[in-house]
């Protein structure tokens, strides 16, 4: 076999795995498109960054997940004020469609 043939097989394999991986993400995330998956990842990052910047919230204790523009907060808040503030921060991020604040006060 020639190097060119082996390179073509390797490239086809990589492209196939990439296609399966991106399709797998879409199916696992309620069959959303790759574009909306990237948008959700961007929103998650923006919310986490704002939580980390705020002196009123402990970003290390708060998990953020986003699906189709809906942000879900989970984890722990020190008090009701921190829980409410985390929800406000998440809602303040552009393009967030809604917030489910499932933080537990400990």
Q: Is the pLDDT of residue 15 over 60?
A: no
Give yes or no for residue 66 having a pLDDT over 50: yes
| DSSP codes, 83-102 | HHHHHHHHHTSTT--EEEEE
Q: What top-level class would CATH report for the domain 33-105?
A: alpha beta
Decide: helix, strand or coil at residue 5: helix
How confident is the model over 41-63, as pLDDT tens digits?
Answer: 999 999 999 999 999 999 999 99
pLDDT beyond 70 at 9: no
Q: Break the chain into its structural domains and give their ranges.
A: 1-31, 33-105
Look over the chain and give the mean of its residue pLDDT values, rounded to a whole number: 83
CA distance 72 to 54: 18
CA distance 86 to 64: 10
Output the pLDDT for position 18: 53
Residue 10 has pLDDT above 60, yes or no: no
Q: Is 57 within 8 Å of 89 (Cβ atoms)?
A: yes
């Amino acid at each position: 076999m020639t190097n060119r043939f082996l390179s073509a097989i390797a490239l086809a394999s990589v492209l196939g795995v990439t296609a399966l991986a991106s399709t797998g993400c879409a199916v696992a995330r309620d069959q959303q498109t790759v574009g909306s998956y990237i948008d959700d990842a961007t929103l998650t990052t923006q919310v986490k960054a704002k939580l980390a910047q705020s002196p009123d919230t402990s970003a290390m204790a708060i998990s953020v997940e986003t699906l189709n523009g809906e942000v879900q907060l989970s984890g722990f808040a020190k008090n009701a004020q921190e829980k409410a503030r985390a929800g406000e921060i998440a809602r303040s991020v552009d393009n967030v469609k809604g917030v489910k604040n499932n933080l537990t006060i400990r």
